[in-house]
Structure 1
Amino acid sequence: MLKKILIILLFFPVYLSAQINTDRVMSIARNALYFEDYVLSIQYFNQVINAKPYLYEPYFFRGLAKIYLEDFQGAEADCTAAIELNPFVVGVYQIRGLAKIRQGKFDEAIADYEKAISYDPENITLWHNLTLCHLQKEDYKAAEIDLEQILRVSPRYTRAYLMRGEVALKQQDTIRAMNDFDKAIEIDKYDPDAWTSRAILKLQQGEYASAETDLNQSIHLNTKNAGNYINRALAKYHQNNLRGAMADYDIALDIEPNNFIGHYNRGLLRAQVGDDNRAIEDFDFVIKMEPDNMMAIFNRGILRSQTGNLGGAIMDFSTVLQEYPNFLAGYYHRAEARRKFGDRKGAEADEYQILKAQLDRRNNTNANNTLADNKTEEDIEEGGNKTRKKSDKNINNYRRIVIADNSENEQRYSSDYRGKVQDKNVNIKLEPLYVLTYYEKESDVKHIVHYNKYIDALSQSKILPKRLQITNAEAALTQQQADFHFALIDTHTSAIVDEPTNPLKRFARGLDFYLVQDFSNSIEDFTQAILLDDTFFPAYFMRALVKYKQLEYQRAEEAISTPVAPGASKPKEIGSFDYEMVKKDLNKVIALAPDFIYGYYNRGNLLAMLKDYRAAIVDYDKAIELNANFAEAYFNRGLTHIFLGNNKKGIADLSKAGELGIISAYNVIKRFTELPE
Structure 2
Amino acid sequence: MKKYTLAALALLLSASTLRAQIDVEQALSIGRNAIYFNDYIVSMGYFNQIIGLRPWMAEPYFYRAVAKINLDDYAGAEADASLALERNPIFPRAYLLRGIARFSQKEYTPAVEDFRRGLELSPRDVGLQYNLSIALLQDKRYAAADSAAQRLLEIDPKNKDAYRILAQSALERKDTVSATRQVDYLLAKDSTYLPAHLLRAQIAAERKDYKTSIRALDRVLAQDAGDANLYVNRAIMRYHLNDLRGAMSDYSEGLRLEPNDRAALNNRALLRTQVGEYSLAIQDWDKLLQLEPDHYIARYNRALLHLRLGNLRSSLEDLNIVLKRYPIFAEGFMARAEVRRKMGDVKGATRDELHLFDLQNSKSYRNRAASASRPAKDGKETRSREDKAIEKYNMLVETAPEPVKDKPRYTSQIRGRIQDQETQMTPRRDLTLSYFTEIDKDGNQGQVYFAPLLDRLNTQRLHQDKRALRLVLREQGSSLSMAEVDEVQKHLSQLNAQAEKTAQLSFLKGIDHLLLQDLGAAISALTEAIESDPSFTLAYYARSIASLRRSEAERGRPVEQSTPSAPQVRAAATGAKATAPAELPLPAPTPTRVVEYSPLTDLNQVITQAPTFAFAYYNRANLYAKTGDVERAKQDYTKAIELNPLFAESYFNRGLLYYSEGKVKEGTRDLSRAGELGLYKAYSLIKRMNK
| Post-superposition offset of 1:549 | 0.9
Structure 2 regions of 5+ residues with no counterpart?
A: 1-14, 568-593
C-alpha contact (below 8 Å) 2:303/2:316 kept by paired residues: yes
- Kindly indicate whether residue 385 of structure 2 is the aligned counterpart of residue 386 of structure 1: no
| Larger CA deviation: 591-600 vs 469-478 | 469-478
1:466 is matched with 469
Within a 5 Å distance, the mapping from 1:238-637 to structure 2 comes to 238-314=240-316, 316-317=318-319, 320=322, 324=326, 326-352=328-354, 354-355=356-357, 369-373=367-371, 384-404=379-399, 412-414=403-405, 416-419=407-410, 423-426=415-418, 428-442=425-439, 449-462=448-461, 465-495=468-498, 497-499=499-501, 502-558=502-558, 564-566=561-563, 581-637=598-654
Q: Secondary structure at the match of 2:598?
A: helix
Query: How many angstroms apart in 1 are the aligned matches of 2:149 and 2:392?
Result: 40
Structure 2 CA distance for aligned equivalents of residues 303 and 671 of structure 1? 38
Q: 1:192 to 1:629 in 2, by over 3 A?
A: farther
Q: Is the 8 A contact 2:438 2:445 kept in 1?
A: no
Normalised to the residue count of structure 1, the TM-score between the two structures is 0.84
- The CA distance in 1 between the partners of 2:294 and 2:137, in whole Å, is 32
CA distance in 1, matches of 2:472, 2:100: 37
Q: In the alignment, is the contact (CA less than 8 A) between 2:372 and 2:392 conserved in 1?
A: no
Letter aligned with residue 454 of structure 2: I
Aligned to 1:128: 130
The offset of 1:613, in angstroms, is 2.5
Is contact 1:440-1:474 (8 Å) kept?
no
After superposing the two structures, state which structure 1 stretch, 16-25 or 148-157, moved more: 16-25
**CA-to-aligned-CA distance 1:62-100 (integer Å, 9 cap, x gap):** 111111111111111111101111122222122212221
Give 1:606 shift: 2.1
Residue-by-residue CA offset, 1:535-582 (whole Å, 9 max, x unaligned): 222222222221111100001103xxx7853599x9xxxxxx998822
| Gap change, CA 1:567 and 1:625, over 3 Å in 2 | closer
Identity %: 35
Deviation of 1:454 after TM superposition, in Å, equals 2.4
Are residues 526 and 381 of structure 1, via their aligned partners in 2, closer, same or farther at CA, if it must alter by over 3 Å?
A: closer
Q: In 1, Cα distance between the equivalents of 2:65 and 2:127?
A: 19
2:31 equivalent among 22, 29, 32: 29
Q: Does residue 180 of the first structure (1) align with residue 182 of the second (2)? A: yes
**Structure 2 CA distance for aligned equivalents of residues 211 and 130 of structure 1:** 30
* Conserved 8 A contact 1:165-1:180: yes
| CA distance in 2: counterparts of 1:125 and 1:668, whole angstroms | 31
Moved more, 437-446 or 143-152: 437-446
Q: Distance in 2 between matches of 1:492 and 1:416?
A: 44
2: CA distance between counterparts of 1:641 and 1:282? 41
Distance change (3 Å), C-alpha of 1:525 and 1:423: closer
Which residue identity lines up with residue 657 of structure 2 in the other structure?
T
Equivalent position amino acid for 1:454 in 2: L
CA distance in 2, matches of 1:507, 1:149: 55
- Check 1:277–1:20 CA distance in 2 against 1; reply closer, same or farther (3 A cut): same
TM-superposed deviation, 1:483: 2.9
1:618 CA displacement: 2.8
* Larger RCO (alpha carbons 8 Å, 6+ apart): 2
C-alpha contact 2:47 2:61 (8 A) present in aligned 1: yes
Instruction: Note closer, same or farther for the CA distance 1:372–1:646 as it changes in structure 2 (3 Å cut).
Output: same
Bigger Cα displacement from structure 2, 444-453 vs 261-270: 444-453
Q: Is 1:638 aligned with 2:630?
A: no
| Residue identity matched to 1:369 | N
Asked if 1 retains the 8 angstrom alpha-carbon contact of 2:119 and 2:125, the reply is yes
Which secondary structure state, in structure 1, belongs to the residue aligned with residue 370 of structure 2? coil
| Contact map agreement 1:158 1:187 (CA 8 A) in 2 | no
Shift of 1:57: 0.7
Paired AA for residue 67 in structure 1: I
Partner of 2:222: 220
The answer as to whether partners of 1:165 and 1:176 remain within 8 angstroms in 2 is yes
SS of the residue 1:76 aligns to: helix
Structure 2 residue identity aligned to 1:513 = H
Deviations 1:368-395 (A, max 9, x none): 63212396xxx85998242222223444
| Corresponding position of 2:116 | 114
Distance verdict in 2 for CA 1:61–1:338, change over 3 Å: same
TM-score, normalised via structure 2 length: 0.83
* Superposed displacement of residue 607, structure 1: 2.3
- Give the aligned residue type for 1:437: S
Query: Compared with structure 1, are the counterparts of its residues 17 and 103 closer, same or farther at alpha carbon in structure 2 (3 Å cutoff)?
Result: farther
Distance 1:661 1:290, change over 3 A: closer
Q: In the alignment, which residue of structure 1 is the partner of 2:92?
A: 90
1:250-298 deviation digits (Å, cap 9, x = unpaired): 2212222221111111221122222333323333444454454443343
Pair 1:399–1:565, CA change in 2 (3 A): same
**Structure 2 CA distance, aligned partners of 1:414 and 1:474?**
26
Distance 1:479 1:367, change over 3 A: closer
TM-aligned CA distance change 1:321 to 1:618, over 3 Å: closer
Letter of the 2:369 partner, please give it.
Answer: L
Q: Is the 8 A contact 2:183 2:200 kept in 1?
A: yes
Unaligned runs of 5+ in 1: 1-12, 571-576
Amino acid at match of 1:457: R
The 1:380/1:653 distance shift into structure 2, 3 A limit, reads same
Range moving further from structure 2, 36-45 or 96-105: 96-105
Aligned 1:125-204 pairs, distance under 5 A: 125-204=127-206
- The letter of the residue matching 1:522 is A
Which stretch of the first structure deviates more once superposed, 109-118 or 280-289?
280-289
Deviation at residue 23 of structure 1 after TM alignment? 0.7
Deviation at 1:598, TM superposition (A): 2.3
Residue 48 (structure 1) shift = 0.6
Distance 2:269 2:405 in 1: 30
| Structure 1: distance between partners of 2:226 and 2:407 | 17
Once residues 94 and 671 of structure 1 are traced to their aligned partners in structure 2, the CA distance between those partners, rounded to angstroms, is: 37
Q: Deviations over 1:172-230 (max 9, x none)?
A: 22233333334444444444443333223323322233333332332222222111111
How far residue 141 of structure 1 moved from its aligned partner, in angstroms, is 1.7
Other structure's SS at 1:466 match: coil
Describe the SS at the equivalent of 1:470.
strand
Taking the aligned partners of 1:486 and 1:320, their CA distance within structure 2 comes to 57
C-alpha distance 329-372 of structure 1, shift in aligned 2 (>3 A): farther
**8 Å contact kept, 1:136–1:414:** no
Question: Residue 21 of structure 1: SS of its match in structure 2?
Answer: helix
Between the aligned partners of 2:379 and 2:636, the Cα distance in structure 1 is 64
Cα offset for 1:124? 3.3
| Distance in 1 between residues matched to 2:19 and 2:313, nearest whole Å | 73
Q: How far does the alpha carbon of each residue in 1:306-342 deviate from its partner, in whole angstroms, 9 at most, with x for none? A: 2334455455555555555554434433443343344
**Code of the aligned partner of 1:265:** N
CA distance in 2, matches of 1:37, 1:374: 54
Residue 448 of structure 1 and its aligned partner are, at CA, apart by 5.1
In the alignment, residue 407 of structure 2 is paired with which amino acid?
Answer: D
CA distance in 1, matches of 2:124, 2:620: 40
